[in-house]
Homo-oligomer: A and B are copies of this chain.
Amino acid sequence: MAYDGAIQRLIDAFASLPGIGPKGAQRIAFYMLSASEEEAQRLADAVLDAKHNIRFCEICGNVCETSPCTICSDPRRDRSMICVVEEPKDVMSIERTREYRGLYHVLGGTINPMANIGPNDLSIPKLLDRLKDGSVKEVIVALNPNIEGEATTTYLSRLLTPLELKVTRLASGLPVGGDLEYADEITLSRALAGRRDV
């Protein structure tokens, strides 16, 4: 039993998005039907607009409307630091801390032999290009702390250390507001190994 054509197509379109199941898609579809014409138009426009106007920054690989992106072209940013992240959304996560004023480099993924993704499928050659002129003094590798992220971090650190650069990575440890009782062993041993003077 399915809905009439257009409703079912709408439900299917929403259900194909990540994180939306069939019930959620149905709920959104009925919400759209009762929403105003303008709201429907706004959603449709936003989707097409983003597809047509968003590109990747030719320098760092971040998503942007103008290339180079607003970060790469901002003269107030510290050009001696590059923070290497996996995805464009990681740039925004780090920007939200308001602690980092350097540049970024988006790899577009991590090294993953199972998925047949090697260093040359990522923007690692482009990163090496950016480091050539010697103006960058520190590279912060800020990849996700999972197996692929660790492997890529190790690969990058081996690749970059000979270049007389400071190569750092994000600290691992207990999340703020976390609980010793619920921390897994690996996180806890990382937190121990990285202990600091009070």
Q: Is the CB of A19 within 8 A of B9?
A: no
| Chain B nearest CB, measured from A44 CB (Å) | 4
At the interface, is chain A mostly helix, strand, loop or mixed?
Answer: helix
User: Which B residues are CB-close (under 8 A) to A49?
Assistant: 6, 9-10
Within 8 A of B (CB), among A1-60: 1, 3-7, 9-10, 12-14, 16-20, 24, 26-33, 37, 39-51, 53-54
Taking the full assembly, how many copies of this chain does it contain?
2
User: Which B residues are CB-close (under 8 A) to A69?
Assistant: 4
How many residues of A are counted as interface, with CB atoms below 8 angstroms from the partner's CB atoms?
Answer: 54
Bound complex: CA of A26 vs CA of B88, how far in Å?
Answer: 11
Q: Is the CB of B30 within 8 A of A19?
A: no
Q: Does A64 contact B (CB under 8 A)?
A: yes
Q: Which of the residues B7, B24, B27, B53 comes within 8 Å of A63, measured between beta carbons? A: B7
Q: Is the CB of B26 within 8 A of A89?
A: yes
Indicate with 1 or 0, residue by residue over A47-86, a CB within 8 angstroms of chain B CB atoms.
1111101100000000111100110000000000000000
A-B contact pairs, 26 of them (CB 8 A): A1-B95, A3-B92, A4-B63, A4-B64, A6-B65, A7-B50, A10-B49, A13-B43, A16-B39, A17-B28, A17-B31, A17-B32, A18-B27, A20-B28, A27-B89, A29-B50, A30-B63, A30-B88, A32-B50, A33-B50, A40-B47, A40-B50, A40-B51, A43-B44, A44-B44, A44-B47
Q: Identify the closest chain B residue to A16 (Cβ).
A: B39
Q: Is the CB of B28 within 8 A of A54?
A: no
User: Which B residues are CB-close (under 8 A) to A9?
Assistant: 46, 49-50
| Chain B nearest CB, measured from A19 CB (Å) | 5
